[in-house]
Structure 1
Amino acid sequence: MNAADSTVPIILNPSARKGAVLRRIDPLTTAFAEHGLEARFVRSTSADHAKQLAADFAAQGSDLVVSLGGDGMARSVAAGLVDTDTALGVIAGGRGNDLIGKLGIPKDIEAAAAIMADGRDRTIDVLDLDGKVCLGNVCLGLDSTVQHQANAARLIRGRWVYLYGVVRALLPPKRIELELTIDGQRFSFRGLTAGFANSGRYGGGLRLSPEAALDDGLIDVVLLQEGFLPKLAVEVVEYSFGRHHRHPHIHFTHAREVEIDVPEGAAPIEIIVDGDAIAQTPATVKIRPSALKVRVPRTS
């Protein structure tokens, strides 16, 4: 990074995790200074505000804008940087932090700051859900229940809170019915969950897709059908931990665009984007290839 670019904007939500993210400001200031950088912390008031702040920094010529928070904050900052020459940097400050896990960025402040200073810029795809940027995954059904259960948990931490959410969501599971149009081919789906993956990682390290890549120009479509509950529970837990073989109720395909709707007369279904409920059916998700630069380790 050149001397002219030594000031790095870091966008954060001061209320994230009940203000716990603010405790990272002083260590980050020190860590950035050790690499000859000045950390400029900017507090956002909403997702749209974070997006606008990032877009403004990009327009001003910043070569890097950093998100300090979880996957939701990274998504908001990325929304202001897509299709620009400004790279997104991500430093952990949230609960799941799945994007950095996929990118190979550690949670440790000093190590992450070193990557922001000396890493390389990689170009990745993003998902577009009716104009909303998504970095990780779009999910309906079981995953919505998992997210609500995980958010309600108070004594469980890390990936275990999401695994807890998976188990709770299966007791008993709630069926969804969808009308899907995958790259122009329409069919009906009746099952427990439908996922559309870019990173394929969620819940603090669990896996949504075995093959998801951030730069392949494809959406990984993952459909979980109904089944005998004890067997299904074993499949889902094994699958979530990355054991992706011999699961007859879990089906895959790839796509570039998926239209998501419900049968006529059915109520809309909540859509989870990177762990947040931000939309409902009907909706269209499509891939935007090579739309975003991200700062990653040089060895990544």
Structure 2
Amino acid sequence: MSTAPSPTSVPVILNPAARNGAVAKRIEPLQTAFAANGMEAVLVESTSEQNASDLAAEFAASGVPTVASLGGDGLVRAVAAGLLGTGTSLGIIAGGRGNDFIGKLGIPKDIATAAAVVANGRDRSIDVLDLDGQICVGNVSLGLDSAVQEYADSARFIKGHWVYLYGVVRAIAAPRRIDLALTIDGERVDFRGLSAGFANSGRYGGGLKLSPEAKLDDGLIDVVLLKDAFLPRLGAELVSFSLGKHNLHPNIHFSHAREIHISTPKGAQPVEIVADGDAVAHTPATLRLRPESLKVRVPAGQAQ
């Protein structure tokens, strides 16, 4: 990267091939929307998540005030990793299927309105999750959530957030139990059940509520454990998840933490870990919170 953009230009990191070219179709509307707000969108193509992080870090080091991402939560996570702890804020233009993180932030999916947020919004400092050095802006999960994501990713003829409903149905049909040995703020918790979720934003799967009370700047990780349940009961539990009514079902355990070590009992197979909708690791791993370490552009009228 040779020179920094001018003050009225904003680097927009994207992968035009993402979602089978769906992101590329949003480029022209994005450029028009930025121009309408007195800005220039400087398109910067990334080749991988690590490349997106490196590009964001370079822009931050050169003093660019805002770097935007055009993509889904996975790209947001990658760009955020490069901006963490800097004075550069993250602008977000929706380009994914679920777009759960911007939903929590109150950023519209509409390109024109999101561009106006980048131009005229305010900066908000939020927490992020750190999974052994990998940054996560939304949620980390194991078990049923991983299966839902796996089935959703395999869907070829279902579009948008409907793929997550398809994933839920498939996951319920053959639920996978997990055994975990958790250390939550120093306290050992042995868990056998269907799902373990650790939330920052509390939203996932195109609007489902993993933790309806989760806050992005409270300095806490929301812990949500779904215990084992028979199939009819499991359906009720998942409806509770989607509606955010966790307190109605005793099989859902809810708590808060600042650091969690996630492992499996001796002799058990490692369990896949999903962050922001992507499989990123396997147990064992340690999850920590990095409080108010990321600046994000949000609507100016949003409450502090």
Q: TM-score, normalised by structure 1?
A: 0.97
- SS of residue matched to 2:38: coil
Please tell me whether the aligned partners of residues 123 and 292 of structure 1 are also in contact (alpha carbons under 8 angstroms): yes
2:134 pairs with 132, 135, 139, which one? 132
Among candidates 63, 66, 76, match of residue 64 of structure 1: 66
C-alpha displacement of 1:248: 1.1
Paired AA for residue 159 in structure 1: H
Matched residue SS, 1:99: helix
How does 1:12-31 map onto structure 2 within 5 Å? 12-31=14-33
What residue number does 2:230 align with?
228
* CA–CA separation in structure 1 for the residues paired with 2:200 and 2:301: 21
The alignment's C-alpha RMSD in Å is 1.2
* Inter-partner Cα distance in structure 2 for 1:229 and 1:287: 34
Shift in Å, 1:281:
0.4
| Alpha-carbon distance in structure 2 between the residues aligned to 1:195 and 1:235 | 14
Amino acid at match of 1:43: E
Q: For the Cα contact (< 8 Å) 1:221–1:253, is it kept in 2?
A: yes
Percent same amino acid among aligned pairs? 66
1:160 aligns with 2:162: yes
Per-residue CA deviation, residues 241-290 of structure 1 (Å, 9 max, x unaligned), is 32333111111010000000001121111100000001110000011100
1:34 CA displacement: 1.1
The C-alpha deviation readout for 1:187-237, integer Å capped at 9, x for no partner, is 210001100000000011111002110000000000000112102212212
In the TM superposition, 1:73-92 aligns within 5 A as 73-92=75-94
Q: 1:292 matched to which residue of 2?
A: 294
The separation in 2 between residues aligned to 1:236 and 1:26, in whole angstroms, is 39
- Which residue matches 1:177? 179
- Deviation for aligned residue 1:4: 5.2
Structure 1 match to 2:47: 45
> What does residue 214 of structure 2 align with?
212
Q: Deviations over 1:31-68 (max 9, x none)?
A: 11111111100000000000000000000101100010
Query: Which of 262, 265, 268 is the aligned partner of 1:266?
Result: 268
Give the AA of the match of 1:73. L
Could you list the per-position Cα deviations for residues 80-114 of structure 1 after superposition, in whole angstroms to 9, with x for gaps in the alignment? 00100100111001111111111111111111111
String of CA shifts for 1:108-159, please: whole Å, max 9, x gaps.
1111111110000000000000000000000001011000111112333333
Match of 2:76, SS state, is helix
- Note closer, same or farther for the CA distance 1:4–1:50 as it changes in structure 2 (3 Å cut): closer
Contact 1:183 1:256 in 2 (8 A): yes
Q: 1:245 aligns with which of 247, 270, 286?
A: 247
Which amino acid is the alignment partner of residue 66 of structure 1?
Answer: A
Give the corresponding residue for 1:189: 191
Aligned pair partner of 1:107 in 101, 109, 112 = 109
Report how many aligned residue pairs link the two structures: 298
Q: Any idea what SS the aligned residue of 1:85 has?
A: coil
Distance 1:17 1:103 in 2: 23
* 1:146 and 2:148 are equivalent in the alignment: yes
Gaps in structure 2 of 5+ consecutive residues: none
Q: Distance in 1 between matches of 2:244 and 2:274?
A: 21
Which sits farther off after the overlay, 263-272 or 132-141?
Answer: 263-272
Deviation at 1:11, TM superposition (A): 0.1
TM-score, length-scaled by structure 2: 0.96
Indicate if the aligned counterparts of 2:246 and 2:252 stay in contact, CA closer than 8 A. no
Question: 1:239 Cα deviation (Å)?
Answer: 2.0
Partners of 1:148 and 1:141 lie apart in 2 by: 11
Deviation (angstroms), 1:238: 2.9
